[in-house]
Amino acid sequence: MNRRSGQNGTVVIAGKWYRVRWRLDVENQERRVNMKEKVAPVVFDKSGNPKPPSTDVLCKARVIVEKSGANPEERFNRFVLGETTLRNQAETYLQWVEARDREPVKDTSSVEATLNKWILPEIGDVPLRNVHNITVRPLVSKKTFAIGPHG
C-alpha cells in the first residue's frame, strides 16, 4: 500500500449539489469502480455562480470516502494483492513476457533457472504482499556469499 496513499475524494459540482467522487477496489476485478455521493447543496454567490466547496463540505466528503471503506490497507491487500504468492506471480510473468506484443522474450530459460535455483525455494510461497526489502535481504546475502562479491 506504500505506493498508493489514501483517497480524499474529489468534490465536484453536479447540478445543484456538491458531490464527492472516488474509486473503490472490487474483489476479483483489476479495475476500480467509480463511486459518487451527494455531500451538500451548492452555495451560490450574489451573481448566481456556484461558490467553491467550503472546508466543511471537504471534511464531509472525506468522511463519506472513509465510511465507504476505500482506504484501509487490509482492503487493498485483500482485493488488489489477494493471496497470490510470489511463485504464482512468477509463472504469470513468464507467460506474459513470452506472449507480449512488444519485444517478447523468446527464451526464458535463464530467468526460469534463476527463479528455480535461488528465488522460489526461498520465498516462492510467500504471499506477494509480504515480499519486500526485509524478506528479500537474506536471499540476496545468501546468493552474494555463494557466488562471491564480484560475480
Last residue of a domain, one of 48, 80, 112: 80
| Whether residue 75 sits in one domain with residue 87 | no
Q: pLDDT band for position 12 (50/70/90)?
A: very high
Q: Is residue 2 part of a domain?
A: no
Q: Is the predicted pLDDT of residue 27 greater than 50, yes or no?
A: yes
By residue range, what is the domain housing residue 76?
A: 10-80
Same domain flag for 24 and 50:
yes
Question: Does one domain contain both 93 and 123?
Answer: yes
Q: How far apart are CA 95 and CA 117, in angstroms?
A: 19
Q: Give how many domains the chain has, as a whole number.
A: 2
pLDDT of residue 1: 43
What mean pLDDT is predicted for residues 23-42? Answer: 83
- Among 66, 86, 79, smallest CA distance to 128 is for 86
DSSP for 41-53 reads: EPPB-TTSPBPPP
Residues 15 and 76 in one domain: yes
- Domain stops at, among 31, 56, 80: 80
Cell of 60: 464531509
Cite the DSSP H helix spans in the chain.
55-68, 73-76, 86-99, 109-114, 120-123, 133-147
Read off the C-alpha cell for 95.
Answer: 507467460
Output the CA torsion 33→31→29→93 (10° steps): -170
pLDDT over 90 at 122, yes or no = no
In a domain, 1, yes or no: no
Give the three-class secondary structure for 128.
Answer: helix
Does residue 14 share a domain with residue 74?
A: yes
Supply the pTM of this predicted model: 0.49
